[in-house]
Structure 1
Amino acid sequence: MDLAIDYRWRAELSDDELAELTASHGGRAQRGWWDRVRPHSLGWVSAHREGAPLVGFANVAWDGADHAFLLDPKVRPDHQHLGIGTELVRRATAAAGRAGCEWLHVDFEPHLRAFYFDACGFRPTDAGVIRLPAG
């Protein structure tokens, strides 16, 4: 596989591209999601291959000051385990730092622990979360 990946910060992406990437790995793609989320983002990193659909994506939301939040990182299944996800996170981390953020937060499912702690350099911390009821 040609691994000529072009990583871009704040590239123009369509809602359809992100919905298709999400669906490619079994995620629930919600049309209109990106159009709603984009205005609240500090930025995003996308991974592209010439002549191919969008390969990867990671969003960075923020509080407008010191805290950034890594959200929705995803890599097309046929491109996983090639270092693309790690590079998306590395670039997102660097961009948040350049923007003046002091902290980058991430939540993840237990099976992704090694990726975030070992490959990406996050550290465990005490945190809390409340699942909010729908509606």
Structure 2
Amino acid sequence: MTVTYEWRGHFDNAAINALHAEGFGHAPLKDDWWAQVNRHSLGWVCATENGELVGFVNVAWDGAAHAFILDTLVADSARHRGIGTELIAVASREARAARCEWLHVDFDKDLKPSYFDTCGFEPTPAGLIAL
């Protein structure tokens, strides 16, 4: 089966809410992702297989040099096939094309090999305040 990747691709809010719930382990919400990403994001990448959303990543930005990876999601049934890596590759390429100078990401410790070894991110000092 072929996975298709689309920058700023169309998606259904129900599909992304279900994918988010699966990825982050919570009940599906009824968030309006379409309005949110169109209002606040540089773009996003949708991965589809047989018309079904199997992956997603949001690329927020500051309107200038900095882009931020948020909500990297791959359906449980589609994991370990390189989909997350390709989502990040497309996001990186498009952020570069938009003349961003930096692409930031934060992640849980268990994802460190994926982001550093596979996707090419470099460790940096950073700070975080839990709100």
Category of TM-score, reference length = shorter chain: over 0.9
Structure 1: where are the runs of 5+ without partners? none
Could you tell me how far apart the structure 1 residues matched to 2:104 and 2:89 are?
13
Give 3-state SS (helix, strand or coil) of 1:32's partner.
Answer: coil
Give 3-state SS (helix, strand or coil) of 1:60's partner.
Answer: strand
Q: Percent identity?
A: 49
Aligned AA (2:103): L
Q: Give the counterpart of 1:18 among 8, 16, 19.
A: 16
Task: Indicate yes or no: 2:25 matched with 1:27.
Answer: yes
CA RMSD of aligned residues (A): 1.3
1:28-107 residue pairs with structure 2 within 5 A? 28=26, 29-35=28-34, 37-38=36-37, 39-51=39-51, 53-107=52-106
How much does 1:23 deviate? 2.4
Could you tell me how far apart the structure 2 residues matched to 1:26 and 1:68 are?
22
Give 3-state SS (helix, strand or coil) of 1:101's partner.
Answer: coil
How much does 1:89 deviate? 0.3
Deviations 1:78-133 (A, max 9, x none): 1111000000000000000000100000000101000000000000000001011x
Aligned AA (1:5): V
How much does 1:30 deviate? 2.8
Q: TM-score, normalised by structure 2?
A: 0.92
Taking CA–CA contacts closer than 8 Å with sequence separation of 6 or more, which of the two structures ends up with the larger relative contact order? 2
Give 3-state SS (helix, strand or coil) of 1:54's partner.
Answer: strand
Could you tell me how far apart the structure 2 residues matched to 1:126 and 1:83 are?
27
Residues 67-76 or 6-15, more deviating: 6-15
Aligned AA (1:16): A
Could you tell me how far apart the structure 1 residues matched to 2:25 and 2:34 are?
18
Could you tell me how far apart the structure 2 residues matched to 1:74 and 1:42 are?
17
Residues 15-24 or 25-34, more deviating: 25-34
Aligned AA (2:115): Y
Structure 2: where are the runs of 5+ without partners? none
Q: TM-score, normalised by structure 1?
A: 0.90
Could you tell me how far apart the structure 2 residues matched to 1:107 and 1:32 are?
22
Contact 2:57–2:87 (CA under 8 A) maintained in structure 1: yes
